[in-house]
Chains A and B, each alone.
Chain A
Amino acid sequence: MKTLKSLKRRKFTDKTAHWLITCSGVATIFVILALFIFIFLEVFPLLKGAKIKKNTVFSLHQGAVCIGADEHMEIAYAIYGNGSIEFFSLIDGSVIRKHDIQELGNSHITSFDKHKNLHILGTDDGKIATLFIHFSEVFEDGKRTIVPHISLQELVRAEGADNDYEPFAIKHIASKGDEDAALTAVHTENGRLLLLSSEIETSLFGEGEKREVKKDITPLLKKSLKPISSTSGAGTDHSLPENEVVITSLVLDHFMENLYVGANSGELIHINVRDKEEPVILERIKVSDKPVTALGFLLGDISLVVGDSDGNINTWMQVRDELSSFGWSLKKIHTFQSHNGPVTAIAPSVRNKCFVTASSNGSIHLHHATSERTLLNLNINSVVTALAFSQKANGILVTDSTGKLFRWDISNPHPEVTMKTLFGKVWYEGYEKPEYVWQSTGGTDDFEPKLSLVPLIFGTIKGTIYALLFAVPIGIFGALYTSQFLHYSLKIVKPVIELMAALPSVILGFLAGLWLAPLIEKILPSLIIMPLFIVLSIATAIFVWKILPAFGKGRYKHGMEALVLIPFIVGAIFGSICLSGIFETFAFGGDYRQWLLNVTGLHYDQRNAVVVGFAMGFAVIPLIFTISEDAMSNVPKSLVSASLALGATPWQTAVKVVLPAASPAVFSAVMIGFGRAVGETMIVLMATGNTPIMDWNLFNGFRALAANIAVEIPEAPFGGTLYRVLFLASLILFVTTFIVNTLAEVIRQKMKKKYSKL
């Protein structure tokens, strides 16, 4: 009975062990799968576009002129045409506070501009009111309450200085300002364009004195001025009838230097207003065949969004242009999905390069400038009167003429990432043409992230190729020699080479960056003559070996070549280093860096591709060496013997029999070496300058995918676009090495099978 029990127990233990071990074996598959799936899951949200999370409609009393909301989208305000302002809850629509601007009297608001918390309102009787609206947060018992504040900062008359004119309605207004200065451009109903500036000049005694300038710049527009350039080709002459600039929109940048005037003729007039007394027209350009109806700057005030009466939306930007009289000219950068009706409002995000446009036909689009795509299409089927984009770029507010307020909560976490921005040329702000650029972070808030992976992939490939160029011949020939010719008593070199593989890459990187790079900079010319010297030294070695009396060599007749060569090659290397200076004087006229720059136009960086190629080659050689050597040693002896028996020399046997037979494994060794070089991080990080430039130049650095991840991911906020793009970079690395390794493994297995049959 007892034995039966113990038998049962033993059987149970055996089964459990079997099950457990199989599970652990399979666990390895899970690890690889988990790696892939988890990294993919982190990348996946990049592919998702913008989404509407919630859509709510509230009703107001009438259509508002201007709307806005606090940062958290809890309280909104609406400014009505009659000068009253309402604050209301964006949760239930209830009115929280009402405010009337008494000072405006019976005037009606006809135009407005918004700048930070300032709302500059123009009225139908020529007044300009500056309204300051902001929200403060109060924390009480862990609960947040938002309190709105409103104050009228200034009320001026647009044409008050020389009271000759009847007050005219302000049709368009553009205003910018800071603590010390403010500038307002106004277009009135009688067709005049006025510039009002105020500046606080601090005198020596510290007292500020306000200086106001009013300037009528209408005559400037009336001056005959031919369009400098046009969109529809240089050949056609768009001689516009002069004096007929019908202003349809105005916009001013926050530098208070550039005023853009949109005209009925589809022209854009660029006026430099840096000198408030003497503004000058810099450029007049046809931007559309239809009247320009809306203008607006994107975050940073560099890209200008232009909307016309057909609903076309483009961004324009000042680009360096040698033909232009002042060195710059406006260029069309991006084109977006068109509304099928006149564009009436443009609202930029204060977070990123997104913006919302609305048309009078009720369509509302959300765009992202850099990625040149329209993310959302909304429609309210009524006339849009005011448009606002929330401060966190997660909501859109719209009022229509019937007094309805629409609120959309949107989720738009990664608008800047598309296939095109990752892998294509993109025309970034401040660039002369579309380019591949990686620059993930910048110093300012209005920085445009440049997330092209192309320079990084290029850098990875560049480093890998240079490393393999160095490592492949040495690895394969070394293996061939070790497996076929090396004396058996010297087989100890194999574990020595294995030790080479064990050297941490951080050490190789450190030595490459801080020892080798300065050294190579000093003795670069000698690298050019070194191969020649080494070949010569080998020839000398052969000669010396031949004339050496046979008894001196003892029983080591063959297989000692590698040892014999050591002093010769050391001599060759030292010789070439010593002659470096002389060779430099002789071939490069004394300074190779100057020569490089003058003759080939190349710059020399201390940490460059040569250094990386050498250091990474150091890491790759042992891999290629060991795998190839194994395969060459395992080529069946019968094949080698047969070849030798037929009269082939050992060299012929090695090249014509062993090498072809082992070639699949040698190939897979190269593949594995490739995989290692692609993913190498520390060497590239330390031995290159990590500049993401695309240039095959041997003497430049580069930035590789792996090093880039190591540098940037600690700083990347969790879940942000950069974080996910870096995960994408590691996914690319993972997939590349996975394919390469699997292929290499399959080839190796096939070869094993082939020889097991022999």
Chain B
Amino acid sequence: MKNFFKSGNPYVWLTASALTICLLMICGLVMLIMIKGLGMFWPHKIVSICLKDNVVVLGELVKRESVPYEEDAYRSKLKVGNRDVYGLDFKWINDDDIASMDYPLSAITIERREWGNMYGFLEGLRKDNKTEVVGMDEARELVKESKMLYERIRHIEKKEIGDINHLIEKNRIKLRSLIMQLPSEKLQKKADRVKEKIEALEKTYSEKEALLTELYTEARKKEFIIRLADDSEKVLPVFQVVRMYTPNNMHIVSKMGFYVSKLWEYVSGEPREANTEGGIFPAIFGTVMMVFIMSIAVVPLGVLTAIYLKEYASDNFLSRIVRIAVNNLAGVPSIVFGVFGLGFFIYFIGGSVDKIFFSEALPTPTYGTGGILWASLTLALLTVPVVVVATEEALSSVPRAIREGSYALGTTKFETLWKVVLPQATPGILTGTILAMARAAGEVAPLMITGVVKLAPSLPIDHHFPFIHLERKFMHLGFHIYDVGFQSPNVEAAIPMVYTTTLVLVFTVLTLNIVAIVIRNKLRKKYKTSLV
């Protein structure tokens, strides 16, 4: 035994346990996110529980656990929905209180545009004060119909009225800049013309609004009658329904179809209910666009710095300082970059840009407030070291023999660099860029103060001139997680959504990283063999 300890083997095992714990932590985390995130779209069965005091509750079983500080007692967490009726989405039920439990086939889950899910039974349809009985298929048709109406209304609200508002705003600013200039007859005439235009636009606006009111009244005409768990009846306008289904009556294939359609809605749809339902398309779009703008800014700076360090600088004082600067950029907390972005980009540069180019819109800031451009530039500074380190590695992996061969043919240093070294180093630069993108996609703290918002009214790219709006605020996956998980009024009901967003973000970041690592390893292998 003594010898065994002397050999040091137990200590080796102990250090091994440190590595095991690391591995367990990362695997556990990824698994946790997968399990929690992927389950969100699966149609859950509706359980009907009759309690001992003859109260019936209907809902999805979310969780089951032992009652704290009581032995052999269990309780279940039921998502009962109907937030407008019960106030809370969830209900704890002790096993001891349950009299009976079953899964009624006709129970339906209704996803609504407001107030979250509803669970109940379809009783009928009320139209023009007349009630008739409808089946599930008919009801689905009705929902489809109302969806088309909804899309029409959305189109008018977003596109048509949005366009008019955009034009009115543009003309207003024009008018203001005309008034700000010295008064002359010619300008006065111009101003009058702009005024007329605004009036005409306002007229079309009110026409559209009248149309909208009409459509809305039409939308409210048909109503479902839903019987809730406690036998009370609730009237639900068909228009309010996003989706209705009978999860207890679905077989595996239709469940899978349902899963896919929900997943599609999630990836491509607009958020509902303060981001806690619906899709995350604007957040995905904002993240991708921000990352791309950032790459455009960071790649030249990072690559040139790396070339300087590796190819041009000798080991002197200056190059050592540059190296320390690069390392420090990597170590400075991201929030400090955010503060710098806020003070320098937004208030200093943005403020100046506003004064010079957008003075007619003041005091409403155009570039003097957070926006996608400033957020991207801030993150570009943050990710410079990532690109520098990867590029440097790629440059040093290019064998000297190749360079010397090129020099021997009489090329200049730049020509060798441009035509021989850089093409060889491209995969390395790509690795750096991808790693920088991954870093930027996951960073939240600096974005919170440089332009990310909870809900952006419009995407940074649209059909209005000049099509790309770099001054607009945007949505971001990481901020979506923080905001929905910690700032939304109904955190408990929103948690599944956050897990799914987390999964999307983890998936994106890890994929980018794995791709980068694979490219890097290939590069290493290639030059290892070429060196021999």
- A residues in contact (CB < 8 Å) with B: 10-11, 13-14, 17-18, 20-22, 24-29, 31-32, 34-35, 38-39, 42, 473-478, 480-482, 485-486, 493, 495-500, 502-507, 509-511, 513-515, 522, 534, 538-539, 541-542, 561-563, 565-566, 569-570, 590-591, 618, 621, 625, 649-652, 654-655, 672, 675-676, 678-682, 685-686, 706, 709-710, 713-714, 718, 726-727, 730, 733-734, 737-738, 740-742, 744-745
Contact = CB atoms under 8 A, between A and B. Distances in A.
B322 A25 contact: yes
Given A522-B68, A565-B17, A502 B482 contact: no
Nearest to B319: A25
30 contacts: A20-B304, A21-B311, A24-B305, A25-B305, A25-B309, A25-B312, A25-B319, A28-B301, A38-B343, A478-B18, A478-B19, A493-B23, A499-B514, A499-B517, A500-B26, A502-B439, A504-B478, A506-B482, A506-B505, A507-B506, A534-B17, A681-B335, A682-B478, A713-B339, A713-B342, A726-B339, A727-B339, A727-B343, A737-B328, A737-B333
Contacts of B415: 10, 13-14
A140 B410 CA distance: 78
Interface string B2-23: 0000111111111111111111
8 closest Cβ contacts across the A-B interface? A679-B333, A651-B8, A504-B442, A25-B308, A24-B304, A561-B16, A741-B331, A477-B18
Contacts of B439: 502
Nearest to B8: A651
Nearest to B368: A718
B304 A733 contact: no
B143 interface: no
B449 interface: yes
A514 B343 contact: no
Contacts of A734: 332-333, 336
Most buried by B among A522, A682, A733: A682
B495 interface: yes
A481 B21 CA distance: 12
Given A21-B308, A24-B301, A477-B14, A510 B448 contact: no
B343 A28 contact: no
B513 A502 contact: yes
Interface string B325-346: 1111111111111111011100
Contact of A733 (B29, B333, B442): B333
B20 A566 contact: yes
Given A485-B15, A538-B14, A681-B334, A510 B301 contact: no
Given A31-B325, A710-B335, A730-B335, A474 B9 contact: no
A485 to B, nearest CB: 5
B11 A651 contact: yes
Contacts of B491: 514
A496 B22 CA distance: 10
Contacts of B319: 25
Most buried by B among A14, A473, A672: A14
A538 B312 contact: no
B88 interface: no
B241 to A, nearest CB: 30
A455 B491 CA distance: 29
Nearest to B308: A25
B485 interface: yes
Most buried by A among B13, B334, B486, B491: B13
Given A621-B25, A685-B445, 6 more contacts: A38-B344, A481-B18, A499-B26, A503-B29, A676-B331, A681-B334
B99 to A, nearest CB: 28
Interface of B: 6-26, 29, 32-33, 68-69, 300-301, 304-305, 307-309, 311-313, 318-319, 321-340, 342-344, 347-348, 381, 384, 388, 412-415, 417-418, 435, 438-439, 441-445, 448-449, 478-479, 481-482, 485-486, 491, 495, 498, 502, 505-506, 509-510, 513-514, 517
Contacts of B20: 562-563, 565-566, 569
Contacts of A505: 442, 444-445
Contacts of A42: 343
Contacts of A655: 8, 11
B332 A737 contact: yes
Nearest to A672: B331
Contacts of B14: 477, 538
A39 B22 contact: no
A481 B449 CA distance: 42
Contacts of B441: 504
Given A25-B313, A32-B325, A486 B19 contact: yes
A496 B343 contact: no
Contact of A17 (B301, B328, B414, B514): B414
B324 A507 contact: no
A669 to B, nearest CB: 12
A517 to B, nearest CB: 12
Contact of A680 (B333, B417, B478, B498): B333
A571 B338 CA distance: 44
Given A10-B412, A42-B343, A504 B443 contact: yes
Contacts of A710: 335, 338, 445, 448-449
A38 B323 CA distance: 21
A645 B416 CA distance: 48
B132 to A, nearest CB: 46
Nearest to B411: A10
B335 A504 contact: no
B320 to A, nearest CB: 8
Contacts of B32: 511, 515
A503 B508 CA distance: 10
Contacts of A562: 16-17, 19-20, 23
Given A26-B322, A34-B344, A481-B15, A11 B412 contact: yes
A425 to B, nearest CB: 27
Contacts of B21: 474, 478, 569
B445 A681 contact: yes
Contacts of A714: 448-449
Contact of B485 (A481, A499, A513, A570): A513
A15 to B, nearest CB: 9
Contact of B384 (A31, A475, A497, A538): A31
A738 B332 contact: yes
A28 B323 CA distance: 9
B485 A504 contact: no
Contact of A25 (B304, B343, B495, B513): B304
A28 B18 contact: no
A733 B335 CA distance: 9
B418 to A, nearest CB: 8
A681 B6 CA distance: 45
Contact of A497 (B22, B344, B485): B22
A541 B12 CA distance: 12
Contacts of A651: 7-9, 11-12
Contacts of B340: 34-35, 38-39, 730
B16 A481 contact: yes
Nearest to B385: A28
B23 A506 contact: no
Contacts of A621: 22, 25
Given A24-B301, A478-B22, A733-B335, A511 B478 contact: no
B324 A745 contact: yes
B347 A718 contact: yes
A634 to B, nearest CB: 15
Contact of A507 (B347, B417, B502): B502
Most buried by B among A35, A621, A733: A35
Given A513-B485, A681-B335, A496 B23 contact: yes
A327 B435 CA distance: 64
A706 B333 contact: yes
Contacts of A625: 22
A231 B53 CA distance: 70
Nearest to B328: A741
Given A39-B336, A503-B29, A710-B449, A590 B327 contact: no
